[in-house]
Amino acid sequence: MENEPKSVQQKLQLRQEQNALRRLAISDNAIDFTSNDYIGFAKNETIFHQTHQFLLDNNIKENGATGSRLLSGNHALYPETEEYIAKFHQADAALIFNSGYDANVGFFSSVPQRNDLILFDELCHASIRDGIQMSHAKAYKFGHNDFEELEKLIQKYASESNEIYIATESVFSMDGDCPNLEQLTTLAEKYLAYLVIDEAHALGVFGSNGEGLIQSLGLQNKVFARIMTFGKGLGCHGAAILGSENLKSYLVNFARSFIYTTGLSPHSIATILQSYKSLFHEKEALQKLQSNIIFFNQEKMRLGLKPLFVYSKSAIQCAILPGNENVKSIATQLQQNGFDVRPILSPTVPEGQERLRFCLHSYNSEAEISKVLELLATFVF
């Protein structure tokens, strides 16, 4: 259209020239190495039927998203589910948000105050960074998992700051790697800093019940706030912030992404509750996922692919294949062979760090893992 802003046209044209223009695509029946449905809960028929039966047994209408939770949207399933989540994660309280994005934006835009300090890992998710941009606190990034640089920043700015918040992820979504959380909690304690850790890609992956990496390491009492996102391991909408009762009350009063949005429907909350309960009964899926992660790493070694991959013991495995054109070409070849593997392009990742991102699941077979990596080896060597 002729009346469109020039900036819109120019930015789209630049993306096209960089071969980085995003398009919405419909997933087909290819073998799944791209979704975040790590333990298959999104397609779990038992959870689907249990959710429906739970609503029937309790005479709860499935629909009913009628307004903000501070108005008409706070139906009785909310407190029941939040209490269950808090107990499951050994936290004092849990507050459900509509998404992980809403949770991160709500926390970082409201909790840190003017004259506070936020120090965040340079590879933190966009939702964390967007929330920080909305905050009145000062913020500085530190090198990825570089706690020496983090400590130097604390020493430099602590004297002029009221409170210090350290933000990171237990599993990084674009690399699949994990920080040394024991070292990080020790550092935070040394400087009386508040740790805020996003566990989006750890829930349903780490721990005997899929409780996440923080809890599996016994560090839950050393973290001020944990963000648990349900759209990955639990296969459903929503997220929760775990913390103290005071933190929950504060967020209810000041987190704009919580206050000014319609609450989730009873069906959505019931699905979250049933998914959490199912973690206790899906040991086989959890164990199969963890076994597949080990097998994938073994196959990387066997095929000589290890140097291409970022070190990871999570369900996210990334092969660095620089250049948008290059990585898109290899992804296309894998897709043509029936494997749904997606390229991650710059500017989503820095130029020169373009990669193929393999997401592993409990329902992937060892034969599928071997085949997709054998194909990758033929395309890159």
CA dihedral 91, 97, 101, 106 (to 10 degrees): -80
Question: Which among 177, 163, 175 has a CA at the least distance from the CA of 225?
Answer: 163
Rounded alpha-carbon distances, angstroms, from residue 41 to 54, 97, 204, 213, 274: 17, 20, 9, 19, 10
Q: What is the DSSP letter of 262?
A: P
pLDDT (0 to 100) of residue 282: 86
Per the structure block, which two tokens stand in for 121? Answer: 């890992």
pLDDT at 67: 86
Q: For residue 62, what pLDDT is reported?
A: 67
Give the Cα separation of 225 and 207 in Å (integer): 19
- Pairwise CA distance, residues 73 & 57, whole Å: 21
Specify the DSSP element, H or E, that contains 319: strand 316-320
Cβ-defined contacts of 288-292 (< 8 Å, 24+): 288/362, 288/363, 289/38, 289/39, 289/205, 289/315, 289/360, 289/361, 289/362, 290/205, 292/360, 292/361, 292/362, 292/364, 292/366, 292/369
Q: Kindly list the structural domains of the chain, giving each domain's residue range(s) and its CATH number in brackets, ordered by start.
A: 28-40+282-380 (3.90.1150.10), 60-279 (3.40.640.10)
Rounded distance between C-alpha atoms, residue 99 and residue 274, angstroms: 18
Contact of 116 with 163, CB cutoff 8 Å: yes
Q: How far apart are CA 68 and CA 29, in angstroms?
A: 38
Give 136's Cβ-side CA count (13 Å radius). 6
What is the amino acid identity at position 163?
E
Residue 166 DSSP SS3: strand
How much is the pLDDT for 82? 98
Closest-CA residue to 101 (of 128, 77, 81): 128
User: With contact defined as beta carbons under 8 Å apart, do 167 and 194 qualify?
Assistant: no
User: If DSSP codes are grouped into helix, strand and coil, which group holds residue 58?
Assistant: coil
pLDDT at 65: 66
Q: Give the contacts of 246 (CB within 8 A, at least 6 positions apart).
A: none
**Could you read off the pLDDT tens digit of each residue along the chain, which spans 381 residues?**
568 898 998 998 888 888 788 887 776 789 999 999 999 999 999 999 999 999 998 888 766 667 899 988 888 899 999 999 999 999 999 999 999 999 999 999 999 999 999 999 999 999 999 999 999 999 999 999 999 999 999 999 999 999 999 999 999 999 999 999 999 999 999 999 999 999 999 999 999 999 999 999 999 999 999 999 999 999 999 999 999 999 999 999 999 999 999 999 999 999 999 999 999 988 999 999 999 999 999 999 999 999 999 999 999 999 999 999 999 999 999 999 999 999 999 988 999 999 999 999 999 999 999 999 999 999 998
Structure tokens at 133: 């941009």
| Omega cis (within 30) before 347 | yes
Six token digits for residue 22? 């995003």
Q: What is the pTM of this model?
A: 0.93
| Strand boundaries in 108-200, DSSP class E | 117-121, 138-142, 164-169, 194-198
Angle between helices 181-190 and 147-157 (to 10 degrees): 10
pLDDT at 64: 67
Residue keyed to tokens 């983090």: 150
Note the Cα 23 to chain centre separation in Å.
Answer: 22
SS3 140: strand
